[in-house]
Structure 1
Amino acid sequence: ELLALPADAPGRTPDTPPAPAEASELVPEIGAQPEDVIVAKRQWGAFYGTNLEQQLRRRGIDTIVIGGIATNFGVESTARAAFDLGFKLVFVEDATSGLNEEMHHFSFEKLFRHMGHVRSTQETIAAFA
């Protein structure tokens, strides 16, 4: 008999309620402008199934600043794809959170430091000033 793995469980079922609409709204503090490009991420990684690479390349953007929720899921998936596509990466450690501290630190110490630069929010903002 095969061992059932968490990945074998169905993700969303027809009776799974959808996320509330406000879960995907941008907060006013972000200062979104009508000309901003918004990429709707539907998987863990921001590149999979989106036009993110095309939007970045057509603007001549070669460096991506990464932060976000779920260090070992969405952030890591996006980072791996971006790295494979040849983008330069800056990881903002204190603007990223994981499911637990150990997993978060593992990604930053053992993976991200080999893919790009790890910086704090303060260092990142200062670089743009």
Structure 2
Amino acid sequence: MTHHNAHSRLALVMIDIQNGVLSLPLAHDPDHLVQRAAQLVSLFHHNELPVVAVNVAGRPSGRTDQVQAHVDMSGRWSELDSRLPLKADDIYVTKHCWGAFTQSTLHQQLQFAGVNQIALVGVSTSIGVESTARQAFDLGYNVLCLTDVMTDVHLDNHLYSCEHIFPRLGEVIESATLISQMN
């Protein structure tokens, strides 16, 4: 259950809901995810709460055991999905790593807006979303993980994050629960 009080300010943080990522072979229907995310954006705007749109435009250069597949990020790959009803005064973050707080001004922007709680959605559950949840938790944010507005290339990774990692970092809820609490 989410706990809202007079000292709590919530922001929606959307991870990598963008053309290139949504074109990957995802475990859940990307159109459904975008539809739910768009509904949340409208609700947060209506309630005059911050909306954060994060996109990825690269990756760290460190060595890994797993061979990194070449992804052509040219063209419109990094553009946010146009079905999201974003506004010019929303917070925009472009990242070049997994988590949205690393090498960005996201934490400072959320602090400036008085935010201490985030509703987290996006792709990929086990990479960008989970990394951002871990970073937010480490920074002291209350984290609401809206698992029906997340997906991953691998269903088993998505389920593991939702069932085993997110409960240790925050509260796991469905978007309908948050929507009913905010209406």
Which of the residues 130, 137, 159 maps onto 1:83? 137
Which of the residues 138, 146, 166 maps onto 1:112? 166
Whole-angstrom distance in 2 between the partners of 1:60 and 1:112: 23
Which of the residues 22, 27, 37 maps onto 2:91? 37
TM-score normalised per structure 2: 0.59
Question: Which protein shows a greater Rg?
Answer: 1
TM-score normalised per structure 1: 0.82
Number of residues of Structure 1 aligned to a counterpart in Structure 2: 121
Whole-angstrom distance in 2 between the partners of 1:39 and 1:94: 23
Partner in structure 1 of residue 105 of structure 2? 51
| Bigger relative contact order, structure 1 or 2 (CA pairs below 8 A, ≥6 apart) | 2
More helix by share: 1
Partner in structure 1 of residue 156 of structure 2? 102
Does 1:61 find its partner at 2:115? Answer: yes
Cα RMSD, aligned residues only: 2.1
More strand by share: 2
Equivalent position SS for 2:147: strand
Whole-angstrom distance in 2 between the partners of 1:115 and 1:82: 9
Instruction: Flag as ranges the 4+ runs of structure 1 deviating above 6 A.
Output: none
Structure 1, unaligned runs of 5 or more:
1-5
Structure 2, unaligned runs of 5 or more:
1-62
